[in-house]
Amino acid sequence: MTKRIAVFASGNGSNFQVIAEQFPVAFVFSDHRDAYVLERAKSLGVPSYAFELKEFDNKAAYEAAIVDLLEEHEIDLVVLAGYMKIVASTLLAKYEGRMINIHPAYLPEFPGAHGIEDAWAAGVAESGVTIHWVDSGVDSGQIIRQERVPRLEGDTIDSFEERIHAMEYRLYPEVLESLGVKRHQE
Ligand code: GRF
């Protein structure tokens, strides 16, 4: 049996799109009702849900609503792809060990919300991409896979960023497959 996945994204959703083109996605969740990822889901025919933390009394109630969705859809693996919230105890209690994240830097270098910009500003010769299990820290869970991405002569932050995203689009599908998620049937 293939693992059933849900993808969480807060904004653009390009990683979600790459994943959904290659693997069945049970649903996408966004914590922003106007996120572009929801348009992508519609075009790809992937069910989507969106609600915002501010619509709930507290984070525990917000995460309890997410857990309900995950349980309703019998999700085996939660795939964070540009989900910009820290995962808190309600969600972790149920899904730690079944939740992965992609980070656009070579962890533990440059954790946090600005991995690409921070690496660029530090003037490093190379950065990278990391996929890791989610724990209660920020980008601190056990690493599943990481690859280096060089900063090339003549790079601008845009070309550097593009090269990092290209690595993300290559690595996430490989990792999903290695974790037992089956691709779309031909
Ligand atoms: C990616 O760079 C991912 O590593 C980071 O947020 C970005 C999301 O991009 N966590 P997108 O929404 O998949 O286009």
DSSP the chain: -PPPEEEE-SS--HHHHHHHHHS--SEEEESSTT-HHHHHHHHHT--EEE--GGGSSSHHHHHHHHHHHHHHTT-SEEEESS--S---HHHHHHHTTSEEEEESS-TTSS-STTHHHHHHHHT-SEEEEEEEE--SSSS-SPEEEEEEEEPPTT--HHHHHHHHHHHHHHHHHHHHHHTTPPPPP-
- Stretches where the chain sits below pLDDT 70 are 186
Q: Which amino acid is at 45?
A: G
**Substitution candidate for ligand 1 out of 15, 129, 144 with most atoms within 8 A of CB:** 15
CA-15 nearest atom, ligand 1: 13
101 known ligand binder: yes
Take atom 7 of ligand 1 and give the residue whose Cα is closest.
82
What pTM value is reported for the model?
Answer: 0.97
Ligand 1 and 11: CB distance under 6 A: yes
The reported pLDDT for the residue numbered 96 is 97
**Nearest CA to 70 among 137, 4, 139?**
4
CA-104 nearest atom, ligand 1: 4
The reported pLDDT for the residue numbered 68 is 98
103 is a catalytic site residue: yes
Ligand 1 and 9: CB distance under 6 A: yes
CA-168 nearest atom, ligand 1: 4
Ligand 1 and 79: CB distance under 6 A: no
Per-residue model confidence as pLDDT tens digits over 95-115: 999 999 999 999 999 999 999
Q: Which CATH number fits domain 5-178: 3.30.70.20, 3.10.350.10, 3.40.50.170, 2.30.30.230?
A: 3.40.50.170
Strand order through the sheet with 5-8: 48-50, 27-30, 5-8, 77-80, 99-103, 126-133, 143-150
Give residue 18 CA to ligand 1 midpoint distance, Å: 11
**Nearest CA to 105 among 175, 183, 39, 163?**
163
From CA 177, how far away is CA 143, in angstroms rounded?
16
The reported pLDDT for the residue numbered 185 is 87
Domain ranges of the chain: 5-178
The reported pLDDT for the residue numbered 186 is 55
